Structure 1
Amino acid sequence: MSGQCLFSFSTDSICDQLFPRTKQIILEFSSGKWVPRLREPRDLYGISTPGHLPLIRWPYQCEVIGDKIEHIDWTPPHPEPLYKPTGLETLCPDSREGTVVYLADEADKESCFVYSRAGGSYPSRQVLPQPWEGWGNTLIFEARFESGNLQKAVKISDFEYQLTLRTDLYTKRHTQWYYFQVTNTQTGMPYRFTIVNFTKPTSLYNRGMRPLLYSEAEAKIHKVGWQRTGNEIKYYKNNLSQDGHQYFSLTWTFQFPHDKDTCYFAHCYPYTYTNLQEYLAAISRDPEQSKFCKIRILCHTLARNLVYVLTITSPAGDKEVKPKAAVILTARVHPGETNSSWMMKGFLDYILGDSNDASLLRDTFVFKVVPMLNPDGVVVGNYRCSLAGRDLNRNYKSELKDSFPSIWYIRNMIKRIMEEREVLLYCDLHGHSRKNNVFMYGCGGKDKVNGQCLRQRIFPLMLSKNCPDKFSFPDCNFKVQKGKEGTGRVVMWKMGITNSYTLEATFCGSKLGNRQGTHFNTKDLESIGYHFCDALLDYCDPDKSKYYLCLKELEEMVKQQAKMTTENLSYDSDASLTEVTLDRDFRYRKLLRYAEMYSALLCT
């Protein structure tokens, strides 16, 4: 007689019946007695069997429609140009009477997150506040799906709508990301949408950025996916301020491509938690990739969603003398920065590929990759925060494991790695809402070359040379600001990782080379991941000629900057001699400021 008996153990005390248990004791009946053993979690890989994905968990208050939202992968045949103002852009009146046609249920009635529910709460009511005698020509809005973010839609006229975005859950701030569905469309008619509760005073929409539109009819008929749309685009300060908050509006006009179509609008190309899980499931099913890519669970989030960590390296061989150096990449700590997920996808596509270069990188390094640090925020459509209502990328110093689990676990994982092997590079992938191009933020260092702190700038310079039409080295910054001391980049640098970076990709497009004046698409963002790998190959090349050429170029840059500063100092000193009425203390402070600037050039 043989058999098994399962006992589950847990330390959680809230909603035990809702949360899945992973660690179990298995009692196997063998040779006339019960023998206990600890079984590995069933979801060790996060994906138990092909085709089965762990259910996504939502805050219990969130209403979620049952439809699965899918978009085809498509790249425009030519780069899409930025919008050029025509002078016809107008500001929409703030206070206008209209009819509410969409009003999502408040999902953050409590002051903080309480517990989650698999699949969320199925809608029990219509989103319209009153019954309609048929929809007629009124647009039908929906955003109660994964990563959706729309709180309210008001119909001003047949073809004009005023929209309000939902703030990050359990906060009253952070409105930048938007993603919503529209049905019952009419073609050939000029529509106007105005989003009225943005909070940032500047926006790339005033630098030529256009909203994204996806048409299900276009996808089905012409195999066309997300594309830029919009005319008369204007981003401006409105008069809807309340509670001390100033709000800004984005308005644009457009035409739907088909009648009775289902369309979507988004701030950037969506990449959901489901997209990630499906991508990882494909890796786990691939017999070759699964040999050198192990998918594990780093931790569970507040809502009990899984945070995955990938270990990518060639299997250890007999010839391995010392531990390989580690390269650590993370992404999507800010859920609305979907461009970071597309860069991460490009990186993973490359490093998991069958090219000789990918094989060489796997032979040389151990890659630790966390592709989505904030899945809860991604699921509910937040722009910046987790379900703790806090920015995770300001809390890398926090010891609050229960409040910021993914941050606590990634930091401690890196500490363990540093005890075992050298960490060559750490990079956290982000999106940027105010600048064009792709660029990096680094940290000032203590190691000096000819009196200069330049080694941390070599990798970004190499990346700019591999990607000259997208990556801008002059846009890089290597200062450590006081307000950024809780970021992953700064905390990892202070832990001892010399090459610690944030890689930023614009939501908009490029100002460089032959891509000047065009939007980035998903393939452009993925290509940054490819070029990152190319730069890593250059950086670790045993032939150090590229390394030292970049170092020499950086030294020349600093010399030129120092020369310009010195000339400005000399000019200003001569001019100050003629200003006999100028206060001596003021002149002294001004000269001191120049001296500090010169010193900063040498040491940062």
Structure 2
Amino acid sequence: MKISSNFDAGSIDVVAINGFEDIQLRIRKDNASDFAQWFYFRLQGAAYETCRIRFLDIQHTAYPKGWEGYQAVASYDRVNWFRVPTYLDGNELVIEHAPLAGSIYYAYFEPYSHEQHLNLIGMAQSSGLCQVSDLGSTVQQRDINLLTIGHEVESDLKIWVTARQHPGETMAEWFVEGFLTRLLDSQDPTSRALLDRATFYVVPNMNPDGSVLGNLRTNAAGANLNREWLSPSLETSPEVYHVRNKMLETGVDLYLDIHGDEAIPYVFVAGTEGVPSYSPRIAELEEQFKQQLKVASPDFQDEHGYARDQPGAANLSMATAWVGNQFQCLAYTLEMPFKDNDNLPDDDTGWNGQRSLRLGEATLSAIYGVLKAIR
């Protein structure tokens, strides 16, 4: 029996393997910070054996409440992922599962590999509707790519979408895949109507280094990118530095920052009610967008989510707050669950890549629904 994680986004520490029913692991911290929650590893040599995989000391992970009601995902081929029996036992998270083959992968959520990321960019470019540009390099010299879809004329609305500031939130790039696939479909009437009036700027993965390293929340320098927007630096947060500069160049009329939440089992948004420039116009736009997204996707709801910021209390180092305040525009953080959507549960998959992708497709309808009111 063997456990390995030396591959793209792999992450686990092996404590002991005392037999199939006593596999002891520890969730590894991000490479340069204390955040720990993401895991992704391969188990070999345990076919048809009931395995008891124990994650030790989970109260020391970043989001202990994220383990309540959580079910891990597994795959034999890294394409088809399913949930496996997972439960809390004191200070341990336990997976009990009998693999049906000699090689199986377990992960915190359905991964989105760097190869998939590069393939997504290639797909977008080959559509003939998308321009790929290089904004700069990450700490480890990976590319920061921007996808531009539209006519780029002055009269166009400027719509920005960023994803995976927190690299372990892989559902965010699945969302972008669905978003782009529909937007680039020349036979889709909603997409055609949107591109008649708007140019889209999309960063599918803000944190390629952290993604490859198997980090939950930080880049290779240990920076939480979603706390860097007030004063990013080329040394520790070049990803935000370059994207922010491009936004200042183009302007922003609508912004979506795509994330995943460890603890809350719903799809929801968080707005900019706490920023200094918040106004009745933005409040009305926020409400319109939420109503449009409810119609577009029954997966979305607005009863459960984060507590609203008090006026003037927003953290302007966060992307949505900084962008919304800087450009006085509609700006939302969109959150998806790591667990399942309790409003529409699926016992086999929970929330997964395909459901994230479908939400990305549906979000275009919500954008179209508020398009005439944006500016």
2:36 counterpart (175, 193, 206):
175
Q: Which residue pairs with 2:18 in the alignment?
A: 156
Q: Which residue pairs with 1:467 in the alignment?
A: 297
1:433 is the counterpart of 2:262 = yes
What TM-score does the superposition give when structure 1 sets the normalisation length?
0.57
Letter in 2 for 1:303: Q
CA distance 1:479–1:412, shift in 2 (3 Å): same
CA distance 1:387–1:201, shift in 2 (3 Å): closer
Mapping for residues 379-390 of structure 1, pairs under 5 Å: 379-390=212-223
Partners in 2 of 1:429 and 1:235 — Cα distance?
32
Flag structure 1 segments of 5+ consecutive residues without an equivalent. 1-138, 239-248, 317-321, 548-604
1:144 is the counterpart of 2:16 = no
Partners in 1 of 2:280 and 2:28 — Cα distance?
48
* CA offsets 1:126-149 (integer angstroms, 9 cap, x no match): xxxxxxxxxxxxx21110111000
Letter in 1 for 2:100: P
1:283 counterpart (112, 124, 129):
124
Is the 8 Å Cα contact of residues 253 and 327 (structure 2) preserved in structure 1? no
Mapping for residues 199-278 of structure 1, pairs under 5 Å: 199-200=61-62, 202-207=64-69, 209-216=70-77, 225-231=80-86, 233-234=87-88, 236=90, 238=91, 249-258=92-101, 261-278=102-119
Letter in 1 for 2:4: E
Q: Residue 372 of structure 1 aligns to a residue in which SS? A: coil
Is the 8 Å Cα contact of residues 396 and 488 (structure 1) preserved in structure 2? yes
Q: Residue 519 of structure 1 aligns to a residue in which SS? A: coil
Is the 8 Å Cα contact of residues 330 and 371 (structure 1) preserved in structure 2? yes
Q: Which residue pairs with 2:27 in the alignment?
A: 165
Is the 8 Å Cα contact of residues 203 and 235 (structure 1) preserved in structure 2? no
- The alignment-based identity, stated in percent, is 23
Partners in 1 of 2:369 and 2:346 — Cα distance?
26
Flag structure 2 segments of 5+ consecutive residues without an equivalent. none
Mapping for residues 491-502 of structure 1, pairs under 5 Å: 491-502=322-333
Partners in 1 of 2:278 and 2:354 — Cα distance?
37
* Distance apart, 1:399 and its partner CA: 4.2
* Distance apart, 1:176 and its partner CA: 0.7
* CA offsets 1:531-569 (integer angstroms, 9 cap, x no match): 11010111125xx8xx9xxxxxxxxxxxxxxxxxxxxxx
Q: Which residue pairs with 2:159 in the alignment?
A: 327
Is the 8 Å Cα contact of residues 141 and 153 (structure 1) preserved in structure 2? no
Partners in 1 of 2:118 and 2:239 — Cα distance?
17
Partners in 2 of 1:399 and 1:174 — Cα distance?
20
Q: Which residue pairs with 1:591 in the alignment?
A: none
* Distance apart, 1:298 and its partner CA: 1.2
Q: Which residue pairs with 2:144 in the alignment?
A: 307
Mapping for residues 26-37 of structure 1, pairs under 5 Å: none
Is the 8 Å Cα contact of residues 293 and 313 (structure 1) preserved in structure 2? yes
1:525 is the counterpart of 2:366 = no
Q: Residue 177 of structure 1 aligns to a residue in which SS? A: coil
Q: Which residue pairs with 1:186 in the alignment?
A: 47
* CA offsets 1:227-281 (integer angstroms, 9 cap, x no match): 11115x1164x3xxxxxxxxxx2112111113xx111000101002221102222
* Distance apart, 1:482 and its partner CA: 4.9
* Distance apart, 1:201 and its partner CA: 5.5
Partners in 1 of 2:194 and 2:283 — Cα distance?
27
Letter in 1 for 2:242: Y
* Distance apart, 1:515 and its partner CA: 4.1
Letter in 2 for 1:228: R
Is the 8 Å Cα contact of residues 152 and 199 (structure 2) preserved in structure 1? no
1:370 is the counterpart of 2:203 = yes
Is the 8 Å Cα contact of residues 206 and 235 (structure 1) preserved in structure 2? no
What TM-score does the superposition give when structure 2 sets the normalisation length?
0.90
CA distance 1:257–1:301, shift in 2 (3 Å): same
Partners in 1 of 2:200 and 2:93 — Cα distance?
41
* Distance apart, 1:458 and its partner CA: 2.0
Q: Which residue pairs with 1:507 in the alignment?
A: 338
Q: How many matched pairs?
A: 365
Q: Which residue pairs with 1:347 in the alignment?
A: 179
Partners in 1 of 2:278 and 2:336 — Cα distance?
28
Partners in 1 of 2:167 and 2:236 — Cα distance?
17
Partners in 2 of 1:308 and 1:483 — Cα distance?
29
Letter in 2 for 1:234: L
Letter in 2 for 1:191: C
Partners in 2 of 1:432 and 1:390 — Cα distance?
19
Letter in 2 for 1:461: Q
Is the 8 Å Cα contact of residues 272 and 314 (structure 2) preserved in structure 1? no
Q: Residue 464 of structure 1 aligns to a residue in which SS? A: helix
CA distance 1:364–1:197, shift in 2 (3 Å): farther
* Distance apart, 1:471 and its partner CA: 0.8
Q: Residue 56 of structure 2 aligns to a residue in which SS? A: strand
Partners in 2 of 1:349 and 1:305 — Cα distance?
24
Is the 8 Å Cα contact of residues 37 and 63 (structure 2) preserved in structure 1? no
